[in-house]
Amino acid sequence: MNKRSLGLVGVLMIACLIVSWFVFRQANQFIGTNAFNALPNASPVILRIGNTLGFSGKLNDSELWKSFVKLPVGKQIDSKVKIVDSLLVNNQTARSLFKGRPLFLSLNKVGKDEMSIQGTFGFESITELKMVKDILRTAIKHSHLSLEKKRYDGYPVWTILSPDKKPIVYLSFNHGVFIFSDHDIFIEQMIRQLIQKDLSNENIFKTLTLKSKQPRDVKIFLNHKKTNDLILMAFCGRFKKGISKTKHFAKVSELGVRIENHAIILDGISMEEATKRDLMSVLEGQKPMRSLMIRELPSSVSYASTVRLSSKDVFQSNYKRFLIKNHQYDKLHMRQMSVKKKYGFEPFEIFYHVLGRELGIIYTQSNRLDEQQNRFFWLDINNVSDSRKYMLGVAKKVEQIVGKDRFNADPLNYSLVNGKRLKVYRSPDRQFCGHVLGHLFGSVETKYYCFYKSFMLFASSPQALVNLVNQFNNSKKLVDTDLYQHYGATVNHYTSFSMFMRPRKFIPFWKDNIHRDTYKWLEVEDKTLMKFTAMGWSMYYDEGTLHHEGRLTFDPEFCDEPSKVWTVKLDAPYNGKIFTVEDHSIDSEYRILVQDEDNGFYMFSKDGVLLWKIPLDGPILGKVKMVDYYRNKKVQYLFNTSRSIYLLDKNGNNVDHYPVKLTNEAVTGLSLFSYDNGLQKRVFVPVQNKEIEVYSLTGDRIQGWSTQPLISNIVGPIQHFEVGKKDYIVYSDNEKTYMVDRRGRVRNDAIFYFKRSQQNPFFLEEDLPNLSSHIVTSSSDGMVYRLFFDGSLRHVEMVHMSNLHKFIPEDIDLDGKSEYIYVDHNKMSIYDKNGSLEHQKRLTLSKLNVVKVVHVSPNNLKLGILGDENREIHWLDEDGSEMSGFPLYGRYNFVTGRCGTDYNKLDLISGDENCNIFKYEVN
């Protein structure tokens, strides 16, 4: 059986299906033997399922199980479950036999990378053997399986063969116990144990006394001297090495499992060796406490673990004892002494001086490109001022030893979202955690640190710390989320250790530590994995016993909140010019174009990989247009600065004849129009001196165009509409709007006298009854104007708006009728086309808002609003309700991107004031 098959339930069901009356015909009749002892000695994991029939029924009613069977392995198991269920449901004899009867299973490693499962099932009387015959005849008749018989030490062993004659399972009946396994070597071992009346399993776990008022569906017994053999099969890399060194976590454990519809609840105890060699003994003498850090954690964390110490002295003594007994102390001590010899300080002295009563690790999900940017070590400290002074003193000594060019002890200053400043310090030890606590914390780089409230935060870079503190300050708290509160209602908060993780957010950062096949399976089944929303675990030590409580939560309807998946740093601050574009060389993907304040122009892949960077002669005006310059189905990118028109290929190279130098400076972005079914293309550029320059796509100036006499330079974009086979080019100055033909001549005396809103374009409107096609826009005070192609003008009275309002006609509720959407300062309003208010929502916005309609899917539109002063991105429904997980942080602008037609995910890209561009994944 494959090591990742999770076949516990499958074997349970096979046990009922495969037992043949031939097995019992020559069996020795020993009734009442303890089936627990028949399992292979020293098995890493043993499970006791208290009610075989009830457990099967509970699984079939569980939403968790219904989702599990969608996985590849789950489908295989479910096919067996359905066969057995049909037997149990239709056979009253079977139901009476299996009802309330326990089944024992054990897991063992076979060879290098396989896991085997064994099972035992005991009978109480010879009469029960006769009852089983009717069940077995029916099972064999309908299973299309076959039996092959052999003997071991005189006892019959049967092999159940699949229709293609491959062994499925081996089974036998001895001393009143039915035994089975998917490997014949374990069948032989179990027969030997029954003959010898071996009580090894009973003796190993006899010290456990797990008690609970809650009934359990399954009990799990762990022999920790062997469990690592199984755990390590799913891991690789640094984490595998770390796990291998925690072999002595405890002597044995017993966990009780209760399966609910949307959760698995666990509680249990662990016992240590008398020698105090086990890791759990490190918590001896520590009084359980509530966590300080857990109250501060943002909801965006993917993993957090905390260790709480009521006594630092006891912890130091216990940890040293643990390391000595496991022959690890000398190596760690040598590393500490090496640091002291080289830099003049001992890491543990720093740790002991600044530590208060709590320490731990945090994982966020802000940069998949560099997993170190998501890992943080933190300490609760007694006194911030004293710790800052102490750490700075240590850093100054290091600076003197190695030189200021290699180590600068002066703090770095960074801006936070809330306007405050954050000081980030260079850590004197980049592997501080590993030097102090060994392999348990050694994966976190501690090159920099900062202070937040009563905590020291360590990370691999200053920007990682800035990102984390911004999340602390601005994100919803983890303890306020439903995910954590469900867990919190289950466990005791006074503990010595606790862990909380969101599997789907956390697992991607362990890609290099999870076995390749396992990770590949997780990636394929991402949608199912996402429904496992949270896992929490807590422990505390009491009189030689470690007490456990845990919960795995499952939600079949869960839609994960947006998460930041990568961050990249520009060479200069981001200036708000950001675009998503297509690339003909990649299928169903997108690229990201962005500009910085030094006019550097970048292209990134959707995964944040820099593809190229080129210099421009100024900031981009308007938008980037995609064109097929050579008419060969390859894309190029057209845009302008105030001085030039650029046309770039996908590699960032200028296309022939470009850039084109403008005669006059441009005042806004260019417009690209297609005439004659796309055979002719024209580029219109509004420039100084109240003019419009017109170019062909080859970069040649077009003669014969005449700009109407203007009162001011062009405001807003120039737009083109084709109605009734006629071209209408529309543009405005500060007082009038002009509707002209290809040469610039006014059509139908269509000059409209009103002060147009500079923030909003024209929209074509064709769906109003009793009105011909027309274009619609808003005036500077928010009034709706309808401009007809025959030169007539109508307006709709609206509530007064500021001249910075945003106006968008859109069928936001998808009822077939467009609405008028207004966003003005801190208010979002939706009107019908007659001017009647339908919805209104007040938000924390700003005067300058970026407003976009976001097509989440064909049947789902959102209104995206970025309030730049508050740096928040909102996604709203038509009634103003906000999508879960919003608002998100963003600055200046935002864009969206999607790969293909996957409507389960949409990417949102924005930036900040610290030269960063980042991507959120919205599910």
The stretch 888-911 carries a mean pLDDT of 84
The stretch 290-313 carries a mean pLDDT of 89
State phi, psi for 90 to the nearest 5 degrees: -90, -10
Banded pLDDT at 754 (limits 50, 70, 90): very high
Q: Which of 454, 457, 418, 442 is nearest to 301 (CA)?
A: 457
pLDDT at 859 over 90: no
> Per residue in 463-485, pLDDT tens?
889 889 988 887 788 888 888 88
The stretch 61-68 carries a mean pLDDT of 56
Q: Which of 572, 568, 601 is nearest to 463 (CA)?
A: 568
Q: How far apart are CA 557 and CA 530, in angstroms?
A: 10
Q: For the chain, give the longest Cα–Cα distance.
A: 110
Which residues touch 390 (CB under 8 Å, ≥6 apart)? Answer: 350, 353, 354
Q: How far apart are CA 534 and CA 568, in angstroms?
A: 28
The residue whose two tokens read 């592997």 is 431
The length of the chain, given as a count of residues: 923
Which residues touch 6 (CB under 8 Å, ≥6 apart)? Answer: 73, 77
CB neighbourhood size of 82 (10 A): 12
> Per residue in 230-259, pLDDT tens?
776 666 656 666 666 666 788 889 998 887
The residue whose two tokens read 């896992």 is 535
Beta bridge partners of residue 910, listed in sequence order: 918
Helix, strand, coil % (nearest 5) of the chain?
A: 25, 35, 40
Q: How far apart are CA 519 and CA 871, in angstroms?
A: 36
C-alpha torsion sign, points 564, 570, 575, 577: negative
Which residues touch 586 (CB under 8 Å, ≥6 apart)? Answer: none
Please give the DSSP secondary-structure letter assigned to residue 158.
E
Which residues touch 229 (CB under 8 Å, ≥6 apart)? Answer: 44, 109
**Which one is predicted more confidently, 805 or 160?**
805
> Per residue in 611-664, pLDDT tens?
999 999 999 999 999 999 988 888 999 999 999 999 999 999 999 889 999 999
Q: Residue type at 505?
A: K
C-alpha torsion sign, points 193, 197, 198, 204: positive
Contact 815, 799 (CB under 8 A): no
Which residues touch 498 (CB under 8 Å, ≥6 apart)? Answer: 291, 294, 305, 306, 491, 536, 537, 538, 539
The stretch 367-390 carries a mean pLDDT of 84
Beta bridge partners of residue 776, listed in sequence order: 763, 786
> Per residue in 548-568, pLDDT tens?
999 888 776 666 667 788 888
C-alpha torsion sign, points 377, 382, 388, 394: negative
Proportion of the chain above pLDDT 70, given as a percent: 81
SS3 16: helix
The residue whose two tokens read 């995964």 is 607
The stretch 202-217 carries a mean pLDDT of 70
**How far apart, in Å, are the Cα atoms of 678 and each of 69, 175, 681, 739?**
52, 87, 7, 21
Looking at 121-181, list the stretches that DSSP marks H as alpha helix, in order from N- to C-terminal side.
Answer: 126-143
Q: Residue type at 752?
A: F
Q: How far apart are CA 848 and CA 758, in angstroms?
A: 13
Banded pLDDT at 73 (limits 50, 70, 90): very low
CB neighbourhood size of 677 (10 A): 7
pLDDT at 160 over 80: no
What are the E-state strand segments in 272-333? 303-308
pLDDT at 678 over 90: no
Q: How far apart are CA 122 and CA 120, in angstroms?
A: 7
Which residues touch 289 (CB under 8 Å, ≥6 apart)? Answer: 308, 310, 357, 358, 494, 495, 496
Banded pLDDT at 336 (limits 50, 70, 90): confident
Structure confidence at residue 517 (pLDDT): 63
